[in-house]
Amino acid sequence: MNPKEFKKILVGVDDSPDAQLAFRYAMNRAKNDRAGLVIVSVSENDDMNVYQALSKDYVSEKRKQLMQHVAKYQQVAQRFGVEDVSTVVAEGNPGKVIVDEVIKDVKPDLLVIGAQAKSGIEKHFGSQAAYMAKYSPISVLVVR
């Protein structure tokens, strides 16, 4: 029996060790299945103070930096041999944004995420793994 082949894989990245594992798994799976790979990262507004949140320049610069960072993941996947690689940068609560917005826009058939995120404020992303697994309309692979 052949395991299911996926046509489009969405992977969440935040630089945590588990997210790195999730990214490597998603790259391998996308290459083997000849699937598209969409790399998503979510900027959380919770880690900004009031003055930063009100500053359009600060928010714009933070988004620009995140887009550049996610582009590096895209380059790695392309060098690895994944032919169809794209990126998405979103803002808000990672679990909710990925489940409610990104999946609807991207239409993947698999979501790959790390079980735990970076320490500190960004650890919130890892705590979202259970939320995404429970509420995602597509299959979710949680990597640790």
Distance (Å, whole) CA 11 – CA 27: 9
Measured over the CA atoms of residue 122, residue 123, residue 124 and residue 130, the dihedral's sign is positive
Classify the phi-psi angles of 117: left when phi > 0, otherwise alpha if psi is within -120 to 50, otherwise beta.
beta
Model confidence over 116-127: pLDDT tens digits? 765 544 444 447
Model confidence over 16-72: pLDDT tens digits? 899 999 999 999 999 999 999 999 999 876 555 555 556 667 668 888 989 999 999
Q: Which of 4-13, 60-69, 111-120 has the highest mean pLDDT?
A: 4-13
Average pLDDT, the chain: 86
Which range (9-13, 19-23, 89-93, 107-111) has the least confidence?
A: 89-93
Q: What is the mean pLDDT of residues 109-134?
A: 74
Length of the chain: 144
Give me the pLDDT at residue 58, please: 67
Domains and CATH numbers, the chain: 8-143 (3.40.50.620)
The answer, yes or no, to whether residue 1 has pLDDT greater than 60, is no
Say if CB 19 and CB 129 are below 8 A apart: no
For the record, the structure tokens of 104 come out as 């609807």
For the record, the structure tokens of 47 come out as 């880690």
The number of beta carbons lying within 10 Å of the beta carbon of residue 46 is: 11
